[in-house]
Structure 1
Amino acid sequence: MTTETKTLLAVDGLNVRTPHRTLVHDFSLHMAHGERIGLIGESGSGKSMTTTALLGLLPNGVTADGSVRLDGHDGNLLQAPESELMRIRGRDMAMVFQEPLTALNPLMRAGDQVAEIMLQHRLAPSKAEARRRAIEMLDAVHLPDPAQAARAYPHQLSGGQRQRVMLAMALANDPALLLCDEPTTALDVTVQRQVLDLILELVRERGTGLLFITHDLAVVANMCTRVLVMNQGVVVEEGPTEDIFTKPQHPYTRGLLAASDLEATDADGRLFTVASAQDYVPPTVDTDPAAASAEAAPPEPAETPAAPAAPAAPAETVMKVTDLVRTYTRGRTSLFKPAPEVHALKGISFEVPRGGRLGVVGESGSGKSTLLRILAGLDQPTSGSAVVAGNEVAGAKESQLRQLRQQLQIVFQDPMGSLDPRMTVEQIISEPLLVRGRNETAAERSRMVAEMLEAVGLPAESAARYPHQFSGGQRQRISIARALICRPEVVVADEPVSALDVSVRAQVLNLLADLVDEYGLTLVFVSHDLNVVRHLCDSVIVMQSGEIVEAGDTETVYRDPQHPYTKRLIDSSLTLRQELTHAS
């Protein structure tokens, strides 16, 4: 770091420890004013522990030593008293957290929360002035009606709007340093893109230093000029973003890049993982856009449209949805007005052939989850028909639905929420076999569980353990084993990889693709990650506000979207190769 550009943050030899082990080893970072640095790594790599140490917010029993110095403050912040840290937090150094709902006060209006930050640090002379400035800040973060948003409580705002309020709070006092910890992980792609563009615009305008923590490498390529890669508490590689992403030196960096790049596959057509990344060729930054897009687009899909001419007989339809409508009635808000109606599905129709892989894409509120619940027999349509594996869902009695649930299984987004913590893995996986009409013995069930554990790549001894003893990716494998044990015809996967690290995501997607082929399954894959759907699915339907706005062969829809909403979704989704091309 040159002495001309004054150092904003100097971290030297930072160690973060519990009484039993060291979580972060010898972390060092020198950041200039206005510099944007990305800190990347997977869950457990020490990213969040590093940032909470910088803020002096480590949990009880965790200690930090080393040196942290911030421009404008004398001395080592790790040794500073809490009173001084409280003055610094929110004024000179601010943080945007991953989950705004837990970070915002549910009992305070949004505008008051922004105003409170200014009043705490005495940067507004009066409450009235702080409120006026709070509305200005909500306007600066592009909330549609800032005065109205200021009066709203957090639960009355959408996820993207709450994240904007968090950003307004973080930037209210014009801090020199902004720390962002996975601030867009829980957001839809178009909202994610807006929030990222907004953060970039605001830090550039204000000359704010940005430390951006994420496991999404495309986001770092979009946001940051320099990057540090962490693995198991150690920085394994650092340098300019372009160099790290096109010429990675460390095998772990190469592995992360390979697993993030859903446009690259190995010789068997499977996604790369950290373990299989040695043959991965990193993207090259090419200033000629035509050459760059030729590099980014794998050559195989261009030839696919010719292939379907061979089989003459049409594939049997496993799922047929016709004019499906679902209308909810919300709770009454007034004695004199009728209860408001929500039109979750507005007459949608589609078919899935046996062995097909259908992607369902759309943002929050598009009707994806309602559709899933109806297909799985967990909800009844208001009108229309849904035939799944020969079972009509509409109007079906519980005994008829039992048959459907043997033939359709769901893999949920959050394995921790869908696995019973008091049951062993064997009990969890074998549970679908305990329905009336099946007659396997206990020994046969144990043998089937062992086979399924092997199929999803978990050791046989996992059967005796409990869900909390596994990582997120392993828990998702247990969910997949449970879904497949009764050999269903259809598997519905609801955002099954959105909560996973990139390398685990690649492993789970490869596993799903292998099992779909091996068992001849029909897959319905719901996701807001368009790149995942493009990799895994052969056809796609795009949903918006309860309607299908576009449907067709995946590659055709992605290359030539006809509906403006599909085009917006595709333009908003970040891919590593595109970001590197734009950055150059």
Structure 2
Amino acid sequence: MSELTANLLTVRDLNVKFGAFTLVHNVSFAMARGERIGLIGESGSGKSLTTTALMGLLPEGLSASGSVHLDGHRENFIGAPDAAMRKIRGRDMTMVFQEPLTALNPLMRVGAQVAEIMSVHKTAASRREAGAKAIAMLASVKLPDPAEAARAYPHQLSGGQRQRVMLAMALANDPALLLCDEPTTALDVTVQRQVLDLVLESVTERGTGLLFITHDLAVVANMCTRVLVMNNGTVVEEGRTEDIFSRPQHAYTRGLLAASDMEATDNDGRLFTVTSAVGYEPLTPAALAARAVAKESAAARAGARLPVADAGTELQAPVIAVTGLTRTYLRDRATLFAKAPEVHALKDVTFVVRPGERLGVVGESGSGKSTLLRILAGLDRPSSGSAVVAGNEVAGATERSLVQLRQQLQIVFQDPMGSLNPRMRVLEIITEPLLVPGRTETATQRRAMAVAMLDAVGLGPETLDRYPHQFSGGQRQRISIARALICRPRVLVADEPVSALDVSVRAQVLNLLADLVDEYQLTLVFVSHDLAVVRHLCDKVVVMRDGEIVEAGDTESIYQNPQHPYTQKLVASSMNLRAEVLGKELLASQSE
């Protein structure tokens, strides 16, 4: 691409306020045509407010000042009439949102929605031409059978297909600037990789400027040429991606990198957080090489000790023994006389988990992970086969035996706000598992146990009388963990417990889980689509696809040398911060 002198986007002294409170402080940056900028930071850093201010879409009650200019337009977008902004949004600057199902009109076919954006901005001569161009756009984002996809409604498409439709809409009028706000957060790893590759290919071919908002630093390292780091509404650092990620100058940037690097640990084997990142070495090729040598040495030392430990573990009776587990559902009939189709959620699943083991269960949406968890917890019954958990057979179990099972197995769910009763105080939430037949604790004893559990998860007794909405996401997840462990179960099942958390909070919660699993001698079943998290936390892993276990074994063996094509695809699709940064470094050194 030739050297470009004119800036595509110029932002000067952008402030966003809520009454007297300033939420975004003096944000200034410029973007050249075709440049790809990553805007990174944790929740509350001001990323989304900045981008909605650029688009003139701030919610009611918020006000903006400063200037935002797009090449080819004289007016300042800050304070511009909505009628003027409507002519610009969707044509010269467009946005791809995080959740396409809420951004797409559920009552319109997707082809009509792509065509509409061309008709509104009069970039197609007629409705027929807009319809034809819509199908061409759906084909350009690599939707299979674009003509058929154009006739579908949003709910009839998968998440990845809906995000492709959003991208087709965003690029339909060949905009100069594309904004992406966490567009792949809710997608499986293989679909995420496909969508990111598609976005990168599309903007590169068109010379479109890209502002990519995300908390995933590996994605930014892969996608972007420049980075802006936001914290508390302020841009604390900016520069070339390879410079920021390899030689961060600001302490917060260093903390974000440390917390995002799942392969880096401190001297105690704990993940770094934003506040504990002083000892973190940035991701330079020399540092990575030194770490690789240290890791091999540590693995060799650990390997010398493993046979004795493994031998002891193998002699112990399994805490979980699953044999030939099958679960079949009947889907609703399409017509009155049609036969109800069968859905095979689990197919002949067999595995064991021994005391103290940390088992990771990985797989994409529809792989059967959630069905397996429901059966282990006694929330569903298998169609055939056996699942014995802590001595309790789930198949055909009575309600009394299920009560005993649930005292031995507890679950930490993905969304703590959804799993915590908003009308109950923390004391009631944490002690609820104790209110079952057979337990004899008094109210005073239950309160003392709750205080002890809160201390174990890093919260004080003053939190007992508060409600869930008065806590941050990470604090709510700590409350969930305290509730799960108060009855001292033998098995802890964690279902995507950190997927909704910021990177630093994720590191804190993972450190906490690891500590508590060791302290309480728990057996852990950890379900996640994030392979890096499973690799850090678990010593064994099973890989599920379409209701079957396609591969199982020691975690490092599976990750270093996957045998099944699906496992190979999962590992290859996972974004690794170290690999992405090292790739940038090598490219930069070759170009100098």
Within a 5 Å distance, the mapping from 1:7-86 to structure 2 comes to 7-86=7-86
SS of residue matched to 1:317: coil
Deviation at 1:127, TM superposition (A): 1.3
Kindly tell me: are residues 503 and 143 of structure 1, through their superposed partners in 2, closer, same or farther at Cα, counting changes over 3 Å? same
Deviation string, structure 1 residues 503-555 (Cα, Å, up to 9, x no partner): 00000000000000000000000000000000000000000000000000000
Aligned counterpart, 2:197: 197
Deviation at 1:302, TM superposition (A): 4.8
Deviation at 1:137, TM superposition (A): 0.6
Within a 5 Å distance, the mapping from 1:341-380 to structure 2 comes to 341-380=342-381
Mapped contact 1:286–1:581 kept (Cα < 8 A): no
Aligned counterpart, 1:542: 543
Mapped contact 1:292–1:581 kept (Cα < 8 A): no
Q: Name structure 1 gaps, 5 residues minimum.
A: none
Mapped contact 2:4–2:32 kept (Cα < 8 A): no
Aligned counterpart, 2:473: 472
Aligned counterpart, 1:390: 391
Is 1:308 the counterpart of 2:306? The answer is yes
Deviation at 1:337, TM superposition (A): 2.4
Q: 2:292 aligns with which of 291, 294, 298?
A: 294
Mapped contact 1:112–1:131 kept (Cα < 8 A): yes
SS of residue matched to 1:535: helix
Normalization by structure 2: what TM-score? 0.96
Letter in 1 for 2:146: P
Deviation at 1:582, TM superposition (A): 2.1
Aligned counterpart, 1:243: 243
Per mean C-alpha deviation after superposition, the further-off stretch among 269-278 and 301-310 is 301-310
Mapped contact 2:4–2:33 kept (Cα < 8 A): no
Mapped contact 1:176–1:208 kept (Cα < 8 A): yes
Mapped contact 2:283–2:582 kept (Cα < 8 A): no
C-alpha distance in 2 between matches for 1:295 and 1:117: 54
Letter in 2 for 1:53: A
Kindly tell me: are residues 80 and 332 of structure 1, through their superposed partners in 2, closer, same or farther at Cα, counting changes over 3 Å? same
Kindly tell me: are residues 115 and 336 of structure 1, through their superposed partners in 2, closer, same or farther at Cα, counting changes over 3 Å? same
Deviation at 1:126, TM superposition (A): 1.3
Which consecutive aligned stretches of 4+ in structure 1 deviate over 3 angstroms post-superposition? 290-299, 301-306
Root-mean-square deviation (Å): 1.6
Deviation at 1:308, TM superposition (A): 2.5
Per mean C-alpha deviation after superposition, the further-off stretch among 295-304 and 558-567 is 295-304
Mapped contact 1:189–1:572 kept (Cα < 8 A): yes
Deviation string, structure 1 residues 25-64 (Cα, Å, up to 9, x no partner): 0000100000000000000000000000000000000000
SS of residue matched to 2:418: helix
Kindly tell me: are residues 376 and 224 of structure 1, through their superposed partners in 2, closer, same or farther at Cα, counting changes over 3 Å? same
C-alpha distance in 1 between matches for 2:328 and 2:11: 56
Aligned counterpart, 1:260: 260
Aligned counterpart, 1:551: 552
C-alpha distance in 2 between matches for 1:353 and 1:105: 49
C-alpha distance in 2 between matches for 1:19 and 1:380: 54
SS of residue matched to 2:170: helix
Per mean C-alpha deviation after superposition, the further-off stretch among 202-211 and 291-300 is 291-300
The number of residues matched between the two structures is 581
Deviation at 1:219, TM superposition (A): 0.4
Kindly tell me: are residues 464 and 117 of structure 1, through their superposed partners in 2, closer, same or farther at Cα, counting changes over 3 Å? same
C-alpha distance in 2 between matches for 1:121 and 1:369: 44
C-alpha distance in 2 between matches for 1:570 and 1:407: 33
Letter in 1 for 2:292: A
Aligned counterpart, 1:503: 504
Deviation at 1:291, TM superposition (A): 4.8
Per mean C-alpha deviation after superposition, the further-off stretch among 528-537 and 18-27 is 18-27
Mapped contact 1:25–1:234 kept (Cα < 8 A): yes
SS of residue matched to 1:253: helix
Deviation at 1:305, TM superposition (A): 3.9
Letter in 2 for 1:566: T
C-alpha distance in 1 between matches for 2:171 and 2:4: 26
C-alpha distance in 2 between matches for 1:299 and 1:413: 35
Per mean C-alpha deviation after superposition, the further-off stretch among 276-285 and 197-206 is 276-285
C-alpha distance in 2 between matches for 1:298 and 1:138: 47
Mapped contact 1:296–1:577 kept (Cα < 8 A): no
Aligned counterpart, 1:427: 428
Deviation string, structure 1 residues 433-482 (Cα, Å, up to 9, x no partner): 11111111001111111111111111211111000011111111111000
Mapped contact 1:263–1:297 kept (Cα < 8 A): no
Deviation at 1:557, TM superposition (A): 0.6
Is 1:441 the counterpart of 2:439? The answer is no
How high is the sequence identity, in percent, across the aligned residues?
72
Mapped contact 1:301–1:555 kept (Cα < 8 A): no
SS of residue matched to 1:79: coil
Mapped contact 1:330–1:341 kept (Cα < 8 A): yes
Letter in 1 for 2:565: P
Kindly tell me: are residues 137 and 457 of structure 1, through their superposed partners in 2, closer, same or farther at Cα, counting changes over 3 Å? same
Within a 5 Å distance, the mapping from 1:193-232 to structure 2 comes to 193-232=193-232
SS of residue matched to 1:464: coil
C-alpha distance in 2 between matches for 1:321 and 1:378: 16
SS of residue matched to 1:80: coil
Kindly tell me: are residues 78 and 444 of structure 1, through their superposed partners in 2, closer, same or farther at Cα, counting changes over 3 Å? same
C-alpha distance in 1 between matches for 2:457 and 2:305: 31
SS of residue matched to 1:310: helix
Deviation string, structure 1 residues 273-302 (Cα, Å, up to 9, x no partner): 011100000111479xx9599379664235
Letter in 2 for 1:513: A
Q: Name structure 2 gaps, 5 residues minimum.
A: 588-592
Kindly tell me: are residues 292 and 270 of structure 1, through their superposed partners in 2, closer, same or farther at Cα, counting changes over 3 Å? closer
Kindly tell me: are residues 18 and 220 of structure 1, through their superposed partners in 2, closer, same or farther at Cα, counting changes over 3 Å? same
Aligned counterpart, 1:166: 166
Deviation at 1:111, TM superposition (A): 0.7
Letter in 1 for 2:114: V
SS of residue matched to 2:510: helix
C-alpha distance in 1 between matches for 2:248 and 2:37: 17
Letter in 2 for 1:256: L
